[in-house]
């Protein structure tokens, strides 16, 4: 079953169950999907739908950080509940060590020598981890590995 169809079914179930947080989160996601469809003037592919879900989850993560800085525990809790709902639609995320292993392989493949080669390494690595790992985690792993190469 396509992810967009699953989202619609889950939205209907949330409306029947009167689950307000789930209903509102899925409505916002559905609106974001429709906005992207209108912008592209064609139905979204499965990968594009997944990218929208990831973007929405990223927005929640960033909001959580900012609300914590502002001592807004009520909003942090709300955003965390919404993030949990969105995360259920994302594929299983890779752990930090798996990302490091793939980054090491990408560094070897492009013969990177230091931080100046980060763009080439990320270009090789991101298609492999897209949807499976957070870009910030990937970037941090690559930075760390390239910095250690520069010291050698």
Question: Tens digits of per-residue pLDDT, 118-129?
Answer: 888 888 888 888
Task: Classify domain 96-151 at the CATH class level.
Answer: mainly alpha
Residue 62's pLDDT band (cuts 50, 70, 90): very high
Residue 95's pLDDT band (cuts 50, 70, 90): confident
CATH superfamily of 3-87: Uncharacterised protein YqeY/AIM41, N-terminal domain (1.10.1510.10)
pLDDT on residue 66: 95
Percent of the chain with pLDDT over 70: 97
Can you give the chain as a three-state secondary structure string?
Answer: CCHHHHHHHHHHHHHHHCCHHHHHHHHHHHHHHHHHHHHHCCCCCHHHHHHHHHHHHHHHHHHHHHHHHCCCHHHHHHHHHHHHHHHCCCCCCCCHHHHHHHHHHHHHHHCCCCHHHHHHHHHHHHHHHCCCCCHHHHHHHHHHHHHHHHHC
Domain assignments of the chain as residue spans, ordered by start: 3-87, 96-151
């Amino acid at each position: 079953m396509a992810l967009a169809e699953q989202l619609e079914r889950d939205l209907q179930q949330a409306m029947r169950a009167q689950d307000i947080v789930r209903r509102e989160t899925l409505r916002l996601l559905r609106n974001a999907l429709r906005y992207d469809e209108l912008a592209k003037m064609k139905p979204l592919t499965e990968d594009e739908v997944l990218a929208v879900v990831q973007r929405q989850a990223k927005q929640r993560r960033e909001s959580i950080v900012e609300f914590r800085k502002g001592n807004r525990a009520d909003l942090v809790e709300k955003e965390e509940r919404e993030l949990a709902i969105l995360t259920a639609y994302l594929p299983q995320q890779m752990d930090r060590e798996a990302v490091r292993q793939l980054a090491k392989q990408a560094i070897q493949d492009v013969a990177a020598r230091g931080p100046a080669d980060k763009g080439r390494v990320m270009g090789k690595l991101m298609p492999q981890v897209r949807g499976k790992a957070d870009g910030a985690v990937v970037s941090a792993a690559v930075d760390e590995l390239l910095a250690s190469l520069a010291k050698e």
